[in-house]
Amino acid sequence: MDPQLLPSGVIFGLSIGSIYFTMAIGLSLCFGLMRIISLDQLLYYSLGGYITYSFGVVTGSVWLGMVGGTMVAAVVALAVERLVFRRIYEREITFSMITSFGVLIGGIGVIQFFWGVVPRPVAVPMMTQLNVLGTEVPVYRLVVIGVAALVYAGIWVFLNRTITGKAIRAGIENVEHVEGLGINVSRLFTLTFVIAGALSGLAGGLHAPLIMVYPQMGLEVLAFVFMVVIIGGLGSIKGTLVSALIVGQVVSLGSLVYAPLAQMAPFAAMLLILLVRPTGLFGSALLKR
Amino acid sequence: MTASDAILNVSDLNVAYGESKVLFGVGLRVAPSAIVACVGRNGAGKTTLLKSIAGFVKPRSGTVSFGGTDLVGRASYDIAKLGVKYVPQDKKVFSDLTVRENLELGSYSTQDYDWERVYGYFPKLRQLLDRKAGYLSGGERQMLMIGRAILGRPQVLLVDEPTEGLAPSIVTHLKDVFRDLSSSTALVIVEQNLPLVCAISSKVYALKEGHIVAELSRGESITVDACERYL
């Protein structure tokens, strides 16, 4: 590995990890509170990317597209929660996985209907490069890292400093007891699901300029995002952050050493971590249905 | 006491988990400011009775009337908001949250921030405000659960096995708290500790295999022997 590539490799890994984190945090919250596996988050990620693309084409502003993508993803997530998930929260966890996979596949069909199957390029909103330790690094990647840091801070403040966030944390431990205090848990579920959808849309929008948008883009990141949630520990926000950074670095630095490692190394890392800590880095053994 | 005098009136309640029937035509009446106890062996249906009143278990048939409002079919959070709160047996507080945050959640739904009243019953909670609830002892957890539930001044408090596994000094303290609380809140207590039941209850219902087999009232004889006869 060329040591000259190391700084850019690390920043590349941080930016990829930031995108995984922004997406995985919603999945983690959904599992923690509602005990569902919400594969449809990958659809909101794709929608975020496509809306960013379309807004970029129409208005010329990719940033505006990212805001639009986040909002559209939140609205679609709200509709799916109301129409689909509300009916299946009580069912087995595998039921939510199968149902959400159906929503994802159906959604990909809708994307193909409106945008076609040809990959679409999204302009990088800022082309500036920054010299970091002698290597040129795209500033956009630093912006992605900054946005993920803001998301983490925002989620932390929401969960720890607002009463609704505290109710969500309490619900992750015991939904029935929260309801027994007179708190409408169904509303907490909806709010959490919409936040997760919006963050997935934001992740898609942020990722779009770094890749081309295409209908199966969600399926492409599926394994990595789930890896992040599992390594971090189901339902743990801190774990999701640490795990996303690890996976991002393993993907990035692995590819610098030997290209196929970018795909393989994260799985090896996950297996190693789970061998030592079966509940993930910050997962609780108490978290079970 | 007639049905109209009762703040909580349960009649002909039938509850089943799948094919397995648990309660058979159960009925009870709770007067305002009364302490009513339900006794019975494990599996008699005591917890199911409380959970059915609180809305966590859906009855097959029967009525649960609270101040004239039918509770059957209502969501449990709605029932809690109306003023019927349930304190479960498991003593599971929100362990990742501090005592303060646990109390905040009690206040959130009720808009009652009169924590001094809670400290009046449980002074120790004031010292533990910033401690994670997961680090509390069994007795402290029970204090927190009851403290959290009495925020909003519920009219009926359903308490499931409150003294199970607690030190005698805490049991004595809880006995005084329940007596005090009953001046403003009716209590329905499921309890195995018969001396406690006899000391504080104005009425005792004995449950056996899902049936009410006896109804003892103060003035007749609520004694440990009388209760044991039906267990």
Half-sphere exposure of A222 (CA within 13 A, CB side): 16
Band of pLDDT at residue A288, cut at 50, 70 and 90: very low
- Look at A180 and B54 and tell me if their CB atoms are within 8 Å: yes
List pLDDT tens digits, range B126-180.
999 999 999 999 999 999 999 999 998 899 999 999 999 899 999 999 999 999 9
List pLDDT tens digits, range A120-154.
999 999 889 888 888 888 999 999 999 999 999 99
List pLDDT tens digits, range A241-271.
999 999 999 988 888 887 787 778 888 888 9
Band of pLDDT at residue A289, cut at 50, 70 and 90: very low
For position A209, what pLDDT does the model report?
Answer: 96
Q: Which residues contact A109 (CB under 8 A, 6 or more apart)?
A: none
Query: What ipTM goes with this model?
Result: 0.89
Residue A105 structure tokens: 């596949």
List pLDDT tens digits, range B79-90.
999 999 999 998
CA geometry: angle at B64 spanning B63 and B69, to 5°? 105
Strands (E), chain B: 8-17, 20-30, 35-39, 61-66, 69-70, 84-87, 156-160, 186-190, 203-208, 211-217
CA distances from A179 to A105, A175, A184, A192, A250 (A): 34, 6, 6, 16, 42
- DSSP-derived secondary structure for B62-115: EEEEETTEE-TTS-HHHHHHHTEEEE-TT----TTSBHHHHHHHHHHHHT---H
Candidates A170, A172, A180; nearest CB to B80: A180
Nearest chain A Cα distance for residue B80, angstroms = 5
Quote the distance between the C-alpha of residue A209 and its chain's center: 16
List pLDDT tens digits, range A73-117.
999 999 999 999 999 998 888 999 999 999 999 999 999 999 999
- Look at B105 and A184 and tell me if their CB atoms are within 8 Å: no
Res. A58: pLDDT tops 60:
yes
Res. B29: pLDDT tops 90:
yes
For position B217, what pLDDT does the model report?
Answer: 84
Q: pLDDT averaged over chain A? A: 91
Res. A234: pLDDT tops 50:
yes
Listed by number, the residues of chain A in 183-212 with a beta carbon closer than 8 Å to a beta carbon of chain B are: 183-186
User: Which chain A residues touch B78 with a CB distance below 8 Å?
Assistant: 182
Q: Which CATH number among 3.40.190.10, 2.60.120.10, 1.20.140.10, 3.40.50.300 corresponds to the domain B8-88+151-228?
A: 3.40.50.300
- Look at B76 and A183 and tell me if their CB atoms are within 8 Å: no
For position A285, what pLDDT does the model report?
Answer: 56
Task: Enumerate the domain spans of chain B.
Answer: 8-88+151-228
Residue A218 structure tokens: 């969600």
Instruction: Report d(CA B51, CA B185) in Å as an integer.
Output: 18
If you average pLDDT over residues B201-221, what whole number do you get?
Answer: 87
If you average pLDDT over residues A33-49, what whole number do you get?
Answer: 94
Residues B77, A179: contact at Cβ < 8 Å? yes
Candidates A174, A179, A185; nearest CB to B94: A174
Interface test with B, best of A163, A174, A179 (most B CBs within 10 A): A179
